[in-house]
Chains A and B, each alone.
Chain A
Amino acid sequence: MARTRSGLGFGRILVVTLAALLASVLPLPGWLELLRPDFVALTVLWFTLLSPRLTGLFYAWGAGLALDAFKGVLLGQHALALIVITYVASKLRLQVRAFPPLQQTAVILALLWLNEFIVFWIDGVAGHPVTDWRRWLSVPVGAACWPLLTGLFARVAARR
């Protein structure tokens, strides 16, 4: 019994993750493309903070590898960034869940920044740094999306 309900949860996670992956390569007009938040990082953070029994580091790693495959970048780049922020988020989970929305968003901002920084750093190590300041735009946009996404995801999770 327990197993089947866990299985349902797994299916939902898969669908949401796939949607996030598709949203991260969806063609957008020029300036909107620069404002695109890291949907996969947001999804991973959401599952880590609010549904930790179903997901974990392995999930974050898999989602990161899938994102690398979708974007055609260095394999393991987003995977490494995502497992690091998942680790930090798991450690802070109980505090963050009790935070008021604004403070929660601030934590998400910091985690998204860490995620983007690791990706940026690996870009540099791999020999093709992208020093354009606009790459950091996705971080505040992602954090601003957090309150909206929690509402949306809560609705998805509630529909059982």
Chain B
Amino acid sequence: MASPDDPKPPIDPTPIIGAATDIAPLSHSAPKPAHERTAAEEAGTTDWAGIAASARFKELLRAKRRFIVPAMIVFILYYFALPALVGYARPLMEKRVLGPVNLAYLFALSQFFMAWIIAALYVRAANRFDRQARDIRTENPPR
């Protein structure tokens, strides 16, 4: 019986029983075509260890870590500085800097922009990660 992944399918597969068409056969005897498999069924069909050890994948992980770790540290330090300063340095935070508006309010407001800026930088970096991930996917088509 022809397998759906046969590298050279006949030009017109109609007369062949169980031929590689893009419709899964009604009986469950033949394997499903790749695009109909669920994630659970694909478990074990890909050389995961091989990909994990590949230079391309390691480069992707390194690139992600280079962005995500510093970004997390910056945002956590910046965010927790707010309750810490408001709690333990109140006279400083009550200083008026912009008309009636004090440092405490401006610092709290700046948190929103900090979050948006980090998100924007991440989106820019992630477009690069997407390209790297796509290369890895095309190199390792599901079998």
A and B bind: no
